[in-house]
Amino acid sequence: MFDIPNIHIPIYVFLFVFGAYMLFYLLYSLFNIYHLVRYGVYGFGLYLIITIFTGGTILLVAGSTMLLMEYDWTLPISLNDAATFSDETLFPAL
């Protein structure tokens, strides 16, 4: 078919995508919390919603961080191995 050059991409490249998503989520969350506090109806319900949202966010970020810390992010992915793997298992009968 064609020959893919031997290129190795480190796995930590995917952490940049995750970090960009987390930055966007943080900015969007702060925007939402600001509007809840500024234009929301003051009372116990408002503060309860903000507390639950913030606590849930902290739990999800801490959980994903703990799960991501287990991996060795310096290992490279070879494009040759990825192409060979997909050719063998994508259409096994061909």
Q: Is 46 part of any domain?
A: yes
Q: Is 55 part of any domain?
A: yes
Q: Is 67 part of any domain?
A: yes
State residue 58's pLDDT score.
94
Q: Is 48 part of any domain?
A: yes
Residue type, 82: A
Per the structure, the complete domain to which residue 63 belongs is given by: 23-71
Q: What would the pLDDT profile of 2-31 be if each residue is shown by its tens digit?
A: 566 677 888 888 899 999 999 999 999 999
Location of structure tokens 């064609």:
2
Distance CA(20)–CA(24), nearest Å, equals: 6
Residue type, 16: F
State residue 25's pLDDT score.
94
* 80 or 10, which is more confident: 10
Q: Is 57 part of any domain?
A: yes
Structural domains of the chain, count: 1
Angle, helices 13-39/44-68, rounded to nearest 10 degrees: 170
State residue 31's pLDDT score.
94
Q: Is 45 part of any domain?
A: yes
